[in-house]
Amino acid sequence: MSESAEATPPVAVPGRAVLGIDIGGSGIKGAPVDLATGLFATERLRITTPKKSTPANVAEIVAEIVDHFAEQIGDGPIGVTIPAVVTHGQTRSAANIDKSWIDAPAEKIFEDVLQRDIYLMNDADAAGIAEVHYGAAKGHPGLVMVTTLGTGIGSALIYRGVLVPNTELGHLEIDGKDAETEAAASVKDRKGWSYEKYAKKLQRYYERLEALFWPDLIVVGGGVSKRADKFLPRLKLKSEIVPAKLLNTAGIVGAAWLAADRLVHPDPIR
């Protein structure tokens, strides 16, 4: 990972876009990303997530996406996100996905199907790094915390451009409860809460995060951040808190960035 938070691509792949793939509960989306700009080089492809979304079944879809973009990406790196903890190629948790991901050698399962290297990472980490390089926290020199409010809550902690992976702050225990079961956007939708009511839940969540981490900037992502004007102004925090900029492209863009960075900084523990 680069030392600064500048928007420079981590590796020179002149004229070639890097493929990012974002695995979600309902869709698996991929697009080649131009790392000089953080924009998609071609229109993205979305394929519905298989009902039984085991690593092997998902790997088949990822292979389809890779084939689709084969010409644009050549033998360049491929980044893939998953809503789980990922350490050294293994998925370690499965809060909102099929339990077969727990302790699966997922990177290897994908590589066996694809017959090429990929880099698997947590979805919020990818979204966070995308916001730091191209979005709401672009070039930020301090401690940035990116949270994604969706089915669950994802988090990314980035200090001076360097990501601390797998922070999993959606699972912070607050008032004896798993935070994402109280403050994820899916809970608001399920319970039919107003933004005013939802803001109260978010206030409790973000004030805990703030008391523990003291970020300089909090970025709020996930689909609900499109309506950030309805709830962010109600929050009373010490840190600056802003909506994400990249919205539904963040996972793909961050996946591509981190995959390219991996070439320069391979995992020494694997």
Q: Where along the sequence are the contacts to ligand BGC (CB under 6 A)? A: 83-85, 93, 95-96, 122-124, 148, 150, 152, 154, 168, 170, 180
Q: Render 78-127 in DSSP notation, one character per residue.
A: EEEEESS-EETTEE---SSS-GGGTTB-HHHHHHHHHTS--EEEEHHHHH
Per DSSP, the three-state class of 258 is helix
Nearest approach in angstroms of CB 125 to ligand BGC is: 8
Paired tokens of 58: 């998902």
Q: Which is nearer to ligand BGC, 73 or 246 (CB)?
A: 246
Q: Which is nearer to ligand BGC, 32 or 152 (CB)?
A: 152
Nearest approach in angstroms of CB 127 to ligand BGC is: 9
CA 38-251-177 angle, to 5 degrees, is: 145
Residue whose tokens read 């017959």:
115
| Dihedrals phi, psi of 150, to nearest 5 degrees | -145, -130
Nearest approach in angstroms of CB 92 to ligand BGC is: 9
Nearest approach in angstroms of CB 268 to ligand BGC is: 23
| Dihedrals phi, psi of 43, to nearest 5 degrees | -60, 145
Nearest approach in angstroms of CB 210 to ligand BGC is: 19
End-to-end CA distance of the chain: 17
Q: Which is nearer to ligand BGC, 83 or 254 (CB)?
A: 83
Q: Which is nearer to ligand BGC, 10 or 170 (CB)?
A: 170
Paired tokens of 41: 């080089």
Per DSSP, the three-state class of 166 is coil
Nearest approach in angstroms of CB 13 to ligand BGC is: 27
Nearest approach in angstroms of CB 82 to ligand BGC is: 8
Cβ–Cβ under 8 Å, residues 131 and 147: no
Q: Which is nearer to ligand BGC, 84 or 250 (CB)?
A: 84
E strand or H helix that includes residue 146: strand 143-149
The residues with which 39 forms a beta bridge, in sequence order, are 34
How far, in Å, are 57, 205, 244 from residue 52 at the CA level? 7, 32, 31
Q: Which is nearer to ligand BGC, 93 or 249 (CB)?
A: 93
**Which residue of the chain is nearest ligand BGC when measured via CB?**
152
Q: Which is nearer to ligand BGC, 98 or 123 (CB)?
A: 123
